[in-house]
Structure formats: structure tokens, C-alpha cells
Chain A
């Protein structure tokens, strides 16, 4: 059984997919979303195996949704678009499939065939990675706020703290709990952040000063007043990035 989510802002387009997918016994449609933000929330809560993801949508585009997924746990993605956009050509067909609107039943069958082949097989991560490279995903982060998701500016994040399978995202006013690994977040957010401990990373622009402890350990003081521990292992990497 393959659990599938349909994401498209146009009702007729969703109807068509639902109609054709529902004739397959091995496919279960677990939900439908009408814009990028609710799609990301649905992927988070429903954990589908595959998502038919429209690219042009209000709020967050399909590519931006893909860029904000945790690459290790991301569902299989099939992008659906009306136009052979430049961005879509960057995707490796082995990692992701895409449907050009309008598509016929044969073409959809072909996509499903590919999905079934990869379902249960080894996960490929390059779809999310490509989406990140195609969008400005290092600038913004999707975080949960109550029942909803919202985008915050990466520059507003002070520091990140790993906590099991979650990461605490600290900003000036809030503390968000994101269900992703620290590695995956750092991979998305890029150069702006530097790791200072196995479970901590700081926004370089927020570092006010360093103060040495004994035995080569240091403390990192942030502009916000927080004091974090710099472990010896990451010391050289941080020093190399600090302005002199």
C-alpha cells in the first residue's frame, strides 16, 4: 500500500488526480492540500509515502515546500507543473518524477510505475537537495507555530540546539521546535551558521565575543545575552570564520 498526498491549488486539477489515482487498489489518498504551507503541514503530520506536488501555488511554491523537507525522511516527490520550467530540468529523473500539465492517463501510469519501483527501496535524497539549490532555502526556515507552520527569516535565528530528533530554533522572541536533525538544518541554512558543539550551532552574525576557559575550552557569548559552550573539536572551525 502506498499512501499518497495530492497538492494543487486548482480544484479541477485535484479532481483529475484523485479520480485516476483512486482506481488503483495499491494507492491510498491520505489527503489533499490547496497551498504550500498546508501541504508542508500535511506532509509533517500525515507522513505520506509520495506527494503529487504542484509547483505554482499561493504562499509557498511546490519547490519551496520540497526545499523545507528533511531530506532523510522526505516522501517521494512527483512535481506537477503546467510548464517545462527551467527549475524542473535541474531534477534528476531518478530522484523525482514530474508531470507536465495536461498529462494523460498513460503518462500518470508511468509515474506510478516509477513510484512503485522506488517505494520501499533505498531512499534517494537528491530531490530535496536539488529543490534547496533551486530556491533560496538558506534564507528562510519553515517552523511550526501552534497548529500552523510559518516561515521565518534565517537571519532572525540566533542559535540552534539539537534535542533528540528535534531542533530548538532560538530567535529573539520565540523558541520553535522543529522535527528535523541539526545536520539537515545546517545543510539547508548553509554558511550563516557555524557548529560550536555536537548539539549546538550559532548564527555567526549573533556572536558578540568569546571568552577562554581553562584547558582550551571557550564560552561563546551571543548578542542576545545567551552563553554557549564551545567544544574543543569545533574551536578551529569557528576561529577561522570569526572576523578579526
Chain B
């Protein structure tokens, strides 16, 4: 069976509660009939134990087979409805089996099991079973919801932990010594010759730091915001590597409205600079494309040059992989592969419009 989420919760706790419940039922039945001279001492045991046996068979069945209803835990009425649909089958099998057992045991004891007419029994037991089933479904529902809530909370904590890590990695990358100090040196150099340009670059660097600090505290953002951040980063790199890189941007309005994990793309663009531009004396062309393809958003960052595997570049990429997997599971993909005489980093994720 595939790794389906399983919200059994704590089966041992449930079965303990179940055992306790039936012990109580037996005790009450014995207590009730102990002073009745027409009822032998073992009779309440037979009644309760036969009921307990059949009820347990159904509980085990429920525990083993009802995982397919787990997806409806967030819709309690539907969940209860789906379970209660089994009531007719349960009632018929329960009554037949329980009364068969009782008659058999009485026969073995050379006695007869006397009870009201079958139509009355059927009505009476069905009403009892309905109440009984509703009570226990409520308890099981409680157990399952609790374990679902626990798992959800754990997943949320994991997402938050990864986000915090990636924020940190992101900040480190943006405040990455090489990037920051090189940008500062470029400003320091430009200041001597072109004050306007130096001022512009300094402002952009400040914008980039500010934006990454504010975006960094959110989990998802619109591609439009992410796009701005990428262009800011690119414009700083453009000053440093003037003439050695041309970059083109191509995104539909629809794509820009999409929601995307915050700061997912920048490490990919950084890689294009690190492995494309900084390693090559020739002019490198970078292409950043985003478009909607049906139910998916696809972002492609392509640079000319060859694919290099660097021990250093893995961390940023791995972080992107993990964040995509956490937020979208296997509905999102990230690949870095040779394409059109260059290298392309491609991100595909479910298209969802961004609501601030």
C-alpha cells in the first residue's frame, strides 16, 4: 500500500478504553440481575460477552478498513454519514451472530434462551446499536482528529523550521561576503568617476537588503514581488559585469499573479551568475521566463555556458528542493539540466493566484 496518511492515532488507548467500557457493561449487567432469582449467575455474562465479542469484531474491522474515510476528517458530517451507512449491515450481522451465540450456549447448558418476539428484538437492538455506534464513532473521531491535528502541527512546524533556515541561508547568500563586498567595491570605484551611477547602485543594494528582510518573514509571495527582487539583484550584477552579461525577462501577467514560496528563485539566478558569468570571459546570456501552463506555473532560468557541479552550489539548490517539497509535496518539481547549449534551472509548481 502506498504511504497514505494514517490517522489511527493511538490504537492502544482506544482498545483500553473499549475494554474498560465492556468490563463496566458486564459489571452493571451482573449487578442488575444478581438479586433476580429467575436469572442464573452466568446469564448476564453470556449476554454481555456475546455482544462484546461481535462489537469488537466490528471495531477491529473499522480500525483496519476505514482509512479511506480519513480524507473526510475535516468534514465530520460526511465522515459520520459514510460510517453510519454501514449500520444496516452491522445491525443484521450483529443480531444474527449474537443471538446465535446465546442460543448455542444456552443449549449447551441444557437451558433455553427466552426473549421477546424477533420483530421486537430487531427494533430494540437496532435502536441500541445506533446509539452505541454513534457514541463510539464520536470517540474514534476524537482520537483520529487529535492525531490528524498533531501531524498537521508537526508538518507546520517543519515548514516553519525550513523557512527559518532558508531565510537564514538567503540572508547569508544576500549578505554573502563576495556579493556584498564586491558590490561595495563597485560602488567605491564608481564614486570616483560617476557619482550618479554610484548613488543608484548604492540605493539598489539598500533596496535589495530591505526587500529580502521583509519578504523573508513571509512564507509565500506573489511572483510579481519575487520578480522585483530578482531584477534588483540582476541590476546590481549588471553594474559589476557590464558588457559580460545580457539578461532578458519574460513573464505573462497571469504568471506574475501566481503565488510562490518566498525567495525560492533567487538562489537559482545567483547560480546562473556564479557558474555562467563569473566563470566565463565571454558574454553570457541569461533568460528568465515565467508562464502558466494549465494548472501549473513554470519558471525557467537559463544561462549560456556549461553545466558545472560545484560542491559549494549544492546548499542553495538543496534548500530550494526542500522548500518546494514541503509546500507542494510531489506536485512541484525543480531540475537543473543542460538545455539549448546552456544550463536551465526549471521550477514547476501548482498554479495558485496570490492573495495578499
Contact = CB atoms under 8 A, between A and B. Distances in A.
A122 interface: no
Nearest to B176: A83
Contacts of B181: 82-83, 100-102
Given A10-B241, A16-B188, A83 B281 contact: no
Interface string B185-200: 1111110110000000
A11 B242 contact: yes
Contacts of B242: 11
A15 to B, nearest CB: 5
Interface string A77-93: 00000111000000000
Interface residues of A, number: 21
Contacts of A146: none
A13 interface: yes
A12 B237 CA distance: 12
Interface of B is mostly: helix
Nearest to A17: B189
Contact of A102 (B188, B193, B281): B188
Interface string B151-193: 0000000000000000000000000011001101111111011
Interface string A48-77: 000000001011000000000000000000
A90 B279 CA distance: 24
A58 B280 CA distance: 5
Given A58-B281, A59-B281, A12 B177 contact: no
B192 A16 contact: yes
A45 to B, nearest CB: 18
A95 B186 CA distance: 28
B189 A56 contact: no
Nearest to A83: B177
B190 to A, nearest CB: 5
Given A12-B186, A15-B189, A101-B182, A58 B243 contact: no
Nearest to B192: A19
Given A58-B280, A59-B281, A82-B182, A13 B189 contact: yes
Contacts of A126: none
B240 interface: yes
A117 B349 CA distance: 62
Contact of A12 (B239, B244, B279): B239
B243 A11 contact: yes
B280 A102 contact: no
A101 B178 CA distance: 9
A34 interface: yes
Interface string B311-329: 0000000000000000000
A10 B281 contact: no
A12 B240 contact: yes
A161 interface: no
Nearest to A34: B281
Contact of B186 (A13, A84, A103, A104): A13
A97 interface: no
Contact of B279 (A10, A58, A83, A101): A58
A35 to B, nearest CB: 5
B293 interface: no
A35 B186 contact: no
Contacts of A58: 278-281
B193 A10 contact: no
Contact of A15 (B184, B192, B243): B192
A150 to B, nearest CB: 14
Given A16-B192, A82-B177, A102 B279 contact: no
A83 B181 CA distance: 7
Contacts of A19: 192-193
Given A11-B242, A11-B243, A12-B239, A102 B278 contact: no
A56 B241 CA distance: 13
B178 A12 contact: no
Contacts of A59: 279, 281
A83 B192 contact: no
A102 B185 contact: yes
A5 B279 CA distance: 21
A54 B244 CA distance: 17
B339 to A, nearest CB: 21
Contacts of B177: 82-84
B237 to A, nearest CB: 10
B178 A56 contact: yes
B178 to A, nearest CB: 5
B185 A82 contact: yes
Contacts of B185: 10, 12-13, 16, 82, 101-103
A118 B281 CA distance: 33
A221 to B, nearest CB: 39
14 contacts: A10-B240, A10-B241, A11-B243, A19-B192, A34-B281, A58-B278, A82-B178, A82-B185, A84-B177, A101-B181, A101-B184, A101-B188, A102-B184, A102-B185
Given A12-B185, A58-B279, A103-B185, 10 more contacts: A9-B244, A9-B278, A10-B185, A15-B192, A15-B193, A34-B281, A82-B177, A82-B178, A101-B184, A102-B181
Interface of B: 177-178, 181-182, 184-190, 192-193, 239-244, 278-281
Interface of A: 9-13, 15-16, 19, 34-35, 56, 58-59, 82-84, 100-104
Shortest beta-carbon contacts, A-B, top 7 = A16-B189, A101-B185, A12-B189, A82-B181, A102-B188, A83-B177, A102-B185
